Amino acid sequence: FMKNKNILITGATAGIGYETAKALAKQGANIYIVGRNKEKAQKAVDDLIRETGNKNISFFTADLSKQKEVRKLAEEIKAKLPRLDVLINNAGAAFMKHELTEDGIETTFANNHLSYFLLTNLLLDLLRKSAPARIVNVASHSHYGGKIDFSDLNYIKNYSGYKAYENSKLGNVLFTLELAERLKGTGITVNALHPGVVKTDIGKKHTNFLVSFGWNLLTAVTGISVAKGAETSIYLASSPEVEGVSGKYYADSKHKWHSKYSQTEGLKEKLWEVSAKLTGLS
């Protein structure tokens, strides 16, 4: 089913993204990973080729929190790939310290939500050309705690790394819902997912000792393996069962309801409008 399909996975030099790439490479797909660091990306590609025996694996580099790099990445992808069958927006990070990007946007929101929004929109023509195509957005169970304050998207008032993360993952869900509406009839589907509490470093990067210790404790007690955490991404990217299914949220490869708040009338449309302004798409 996946033989020779072109699949792009962001944040795939380690963790869930890497495991997703590995599984889909084993199914015979052509894999393109995106990483921030050239050496790390090259090593990931070499390891993937060695572990899967699939030689059709290569990488692009970009820091997805910077919009000019997302734009450059999209241009490079369009120049290199004649088609794109599956886009997996997987890159995510949690920042415990308040910082703004060079575009003047709070880093978690920029990295986790706006990068999905901008990259996907810039690649839509390529996906349309390749239909039936799929977009898979790695969100999180954390979105249930999210609430977006449009008057303070940069958290100038009171910053909490956890809140910023929850809200960015809510952004992924709202983006998925609105994009599904906009893509009706195009042959492109888009779904979001919760990978589970996975034993990765996401809760330890960009943070302090205490938070890092807490994350280690949490994942030691409740954490699932990275391979298990990748299962729903793999399922949504490749399973014939979800062909034609769009605008849904999944966990454990099953459809789940997204948060009540994310169903608020007009919310997904408003976030789209604001995101389009912030990324210069409107």
- Both tokens of 61, joined, read 């580099």
Handedness of CA 188, 193, 195, 201 (dihedral sign): positive
Handedness of CA 243, 249, 252, 257 (dihedral sign): negative
Spatial distance between the Cα atoms of 231 and 221, rounded to a whole number of angstroms? 20
- Are the CB atoms for 84 and 187 separated by under 8 Å? no
Active site residue 162: no
- Both tokens of 21, joined, read 């790439």
Catalytic residue selected from 18, 116, 155, 165: 165
**Residues classed as catalytic:** 165
